[in-house]
Copies of this chain bind each other. A is one copy, B any other.
Amino acid sequence: MGSIYGRVFRITTWGESHGGGVGVVVDGCPPRVEIAEADIQFELDRRRPGQSRITTQRGEADAVQILSGVFEGKTLGTPISMMVWNQDARPQDYREMQDAYRPSHADYTYDAKCGFRDYRGGGRASARETIGRVAAGAIAKKLLRQWEKIEIVAYVKQIYDLVGEIDPKKVKLSQVEKNPVRCPDPQAAQKMFELIDKTRKEGDSLGGIVECVIRNVPPGLGDPVFDRLEADLAKAMLSIPASKGFEIGSGFSSVLMKGSEHNDLFYSSKGRIRTRTNRSGGIQGGISNGEDIVFRIAFKPTATILQPQKTVTPQGKNTILKPKGRHDPCVLPRAVPIVEAMSALTLADHYLLQRMIFM
């Protein structure tokens, strides 16, 4: 279980960090959606390591191959299989992992679960697994754009104590892509870059907050009980490695408001029902209301650091882990396209479900 996501737009990702490759199969994508390898590659390039000196240096082109499901530039309605070969796997960098559980990684828990593990890297908990998600998400994005002009923009809102000033209503992809931090506030981005670079040199790591806005969502997507749109987004976001929290609209700050302050009052504008404020974050009672969907995800500092750490061996003996090789001092810039992909997959699923009901 666990490598299939979605109910009708369903993806299955596969691949370990150090096997033959990684990939995804998309089952349930409707026919006649225009798609090209370039659409997929664009997103994979945003996720890829080595984009700048502040990300991990694993040097792979991550060139995608579409193996099925697309014909003459359009989806066939059949499963879309996409893959990327592993090239720069360096199992020797991970040798010590065989003898020591890395703190705050999945090594120990995976052993506890399965009793058998590929010790050459993070296995399925590796960031490399997210390649499949990003490739599938690129297709979901195309579908949402072609059918409803739905637009998804995620960006780095905060790194450590540095907070960007960004207006979710106006921010554009081009602004996000202007700097390697993916923070569309250029001043904050510069400071963040410097902090990440300094932390990298110290062999340490940083966390932060990614914010995501989804525009042009038609009212009616989602469900009032278990499959609330925000519940599915929460699951999607907490399934991203290193995420520790999720909040939508007013989120945790709603706690300090009273109902009379917090409620979003309705008004009528050009034949559409709108809300004056958007504390709901675009979703009410589990269902989209047509306002922008806005949410935030907290990411912890990366677990891999280049400092010695106390830990134990699989046999339970005390030991010191002395990591060598590469590390990713801050995953947030590369998490941005993953957040977008998981958002797109979640919305595409709900969008198709809603078509059954009303269209």
B69, B263, B310: the one contacting A104 at CB < 8 Å is B263
B68, B79, B231, B279: the one contacting A20 at CB < 8 Å is B68
Q: Which residues of B contact A357 (CB under 8 A)?
A: 30-31, 77, 113-114
B76 pairs with A206, CB closer than 8 A:
no
Q: Which residues of B contact A311 (CB under 8 A)?
A: 265-266
B8 pairs with A356, CB closer than 8 A:
yes
A125 pairs with B305, CB closer than 8 A:
no
Given A77-B116, A115-B358, also A257-B312 (CB < 8 A): no
A289 pairs with B112, CB closer than 8 A:
yes
B106, B108, B251: the one contacting A245 at CB < 8 Å is B251
Which size bracket describes the interface of A in this complex? 35 or more
Indicate if A337 sits at the interface (CB-CB under 8 A): no
Given A67-B15, A265-B311, also A244-B239 (CB < 8 A): no
B3, B209, B234: the one contacting A27 at CB < 8 Å is B3
A309 pairs with B263, CB closer than 8 A:
yes
Most buried by B among A15, A204, A224, A310: A224
B225 pairs with A305, CB closer than 8 A:
no
B301 pairs with A259, CB closer than 8 A:
yes
Digit string of A193-216 for contact with B (CB within 8 Å is 1, else 0)? Answer: 000000100001111110000000
B123, B261, B304, B355: the one contacting A78 at CB < 8 Å is B123
Indicate if A65 sits at the interface (CB-CB under 8 A): yes
Indicate if A158 sits at the interface (CB-CB under 8 A): yes
Indicate if A174 sits at the interface (CB-CB under 8 A): no
Shortest CB distance A37–B (Å)? 12
Indicate if A260 sits at the interface (CB-CB under 8 A): yes
B246 pairs with A234, CB closer than 8 A:
yes
Name the CB-closest residue of B to A287.
B109
Interface 9-residue window, one of A53-61, A164-172, A184-192, A267-275: A267-275
B105 pairs with A4, CB closer than 8 A:
no
- Cα-based distance from A223 to B5 in the complex (angstroms): 13
Q: Which residues of B contact A204 (CB under 8 A)?
A: 258-260
Q: Which residues of B contact A241 (CB under 8 A)?
A: 285
Indicate if A96 sits at the interface (CB-CB under 8 A): no
A224 pairs with B254, CB closer than 8 A:
no
Given A68-B16, A76-B118, also A106-B224 (CB < 8 A): yes
Indicate if A302 sits at the interface (CB-CB under 8 A): yes
Indicate if A160 sits at the interface (CB-CB under 8 A): yes
Digit string of A211-242 for contact with B (CB within 8 Å is 1, else 0)? Answer: 00000001111111111101111111111010
B3, B107, B239, B251: the one contacting A298 at CB < 8 Å is B251
- Cα-based distance from A113 to B286 in the complex (angstroms): 11
Given A246-B234, A268-B318, also A32-B129 (CB < 8 A): no
Name the CB-closest residue of B to A76.
B118
7 residue pairs A–B, Cβ–Cβ below 8 Å: A22-B68, A77-B116, A115-B358, A160-B258, A225-B239, A263-B309, A352-B356
Among all A-B residue pairs, the 10 with the closest Cβ atoms: A106-B285, A2-B223, A245-B247, A205-B259, A235-B235, A109-B287, A112-B219, A14-B79, A259-B301, A2-B227
